[in-house]
Amino acid sequence: MSKAAENSFDFEDLGKKVKELRIKNGLTQNQVAAELHVTPGYISNVENNRTAMSLRVLSYYAKLTGITLDSLVGRIEPEYRPAALDHELQAAISQLSEKEKTKLLNTIQIWTED
């Protein structure tokens, strides 16, 4: 793989993922634009793959929609999905109570028994 290919990032699905997350969170383009301090037209352009979000706006968007930047990138970039899933799981687990963590661990142990 060439160095340029290693550093490239496929934004082909970015618009689709941004729109899916916006709708899943019950947000309008106007609401997202206001929160990110951009125009609704910018959000429309992102969702229609005419514009790519900057890293700064992408990180704010991830926070706005309640996911980590790792998770958002993992939803876009197939090679990064396993690491992103690990980070998303860690974030979700960190929000659990000690009792819930114990239940989750017991469940995982049941699933992984041979």
Is 97 among the domain residues?
A: no
Range of the domain at 34: 3-87
CATH code, 15: 1.10.260.40
Q: Name the pLDDT band for 53 (thresholds 50, 70, 90).
A: confident
Residues, the chain, total? 114
* Tens-digit pLDDT profile for residues 28-37: 999 999 999 9
Please identify which residue in the block is written with the tokens 């910018």: 42
Structure confidence at residue 100 (pLDDT): 93
pTM value is 0.59
- The total domain count for the chain is 1
* Tens-digit pLDDT profile for residues 70-91: 777 765 556 666 666 777 788 7
* Tens-digit pLDDT profile for residues 87-105: 778 878 888 899 998 998 8
Write out the DSSP string of 41-89.
Answer: HHHHHHHTTSSPPPHHHHHHHHHHTTS-HHHHHHHH-GGGHHHHHHHHH
Q: How far apart are the first and last CA of the chain?
A: 39
> Residue 29: in which H helix or E strand, if any?
helix 29-36
